[in-house]
Amino acid sequence: APYQVNGTWYIPTHEPDYNETGTASWYGRDFHGKSTANGELFDMNIVSAAHPTLPIPSLVEVTNLTNGRSMVVRVNDRGPFVSDRLIDLSARGAELLGYREQGSTQVRVRYIGPADPEPLVTNANLTAPGEEKKWTKPTSTPVQTPTTTRVAEQKPARPMKPTTVNTDDVASGLYVQAGAFSRRANAERALAQASGIGQAKIVETQTASGASLYRILIGPVENQAEANALAESVAGMGVSGAHVMASRN
């Protein structure tokens, strides 16, 4: 429904072709723990966004035009209500896109589609304002290959072949799977946490029974050494079963 803020009327609209450039700002501690426009809780340490007219909740791709960083963000709030601002990201979102220190930057915002209505943040998982999550960024340092002992000799363990994903939504290359979920809402929670470690995305696949499975894939990366290092970093986030996958289209 249309609403008014500071004398200006805003009309929420479904715009499937929305693709705009403008200024992004961010908000944080002053709103931490307060209700968003759709009744969720705002957590400054979780990636989220506010937009004056796009549907909520919805998913958008935000690209920082200054440094080229890009990520998918869940819109669950209204704002910014300043004429020259296009979108407000949470403090964590601004940090990951590389503009938290300067306060604002030029971005491109592209609408992807509706998000799962289940809230990302509840009273049970709301963080403290200063409890920022710091992930270890992957490096290209190769991970030492584990060995198996056989009588008196040691041989390198036979490397596991990466799982192959065939989907039109994923470019060919090496990825790390950081989770697989039967519910998209759970995948979106994991996506919000994984955004700080690489280019994470949700990929929907079908199981043998025809049910949907939502995978969190991070990448692509250039080579096996980087993929191994990335998998190690993801495991360091507490993700059990993180492993390298190959996508071939």
Choose among 139, 132, 158: nearest CA to 43. 132
Looking at domain 3-114, its CATH superfamily turns out to be: RlpA-like domain (2.40.40.10)
147-161 average pLDDT score: 33
Choose among 82, 3, 93: nearest CA to 42. 93
- φ/ψ of residue 99, rounded to 5: -130, 15
CATH tag, 160-247: 3.30.70.1070
Choose among 246, 220, 242, 224: nearest CA to 233. 242
Q: Which of 93-102, 152-161, 163-172, 219-228 has the lowest mean pLDDT?
A: 152-161
Question: Could you give the residue range(s) of every CATH 2.40.40.10 domain in the chain?
Answer: 3-114
Task: Give, as one character, the DSSP assignment of residue 129.
Answer: T
Q: Which of 159-163, 168-172, 215-219 has the lowest mean pLDDT?
A: 159-163
What does the pLDDT look like over 192-223, one tens digit per residue? 766 666 678 888 877 666 778 888 888 888 77
Choose among 91, 79, 80, 71: nearest CA to 29. 91
Question: Could you give the residue range(s) of every CATH 3.30.70.1070 domain in the chain?
Answer: 160-247
Burial class from Cβ neighbours inside 10 Å (0-12, 13-18, 19+) for residue 103 reads exposed
Rounded Cα distance, 242 and 139, in Å: 16
Angstrom distances, CA of residue 107 to CA of 58, 62, 90, 130, 136: 18, 7, 15, 26, 25
pTM of the predicted protein model: 0.58
What does the pLDDT look like over 47-105, one tens digit per residue? 899 999 999 998 898 999 999 888 888 899 999 998 889 999 999 899 989 999 999 99
Choose among 248, 169, 162, 160: nearest CA to 214. 169
Task: Give, as one character, the DSSP assignment of residue 24.
Answer: E
Rounded Cα distance, 138 and 219, in Å: 11
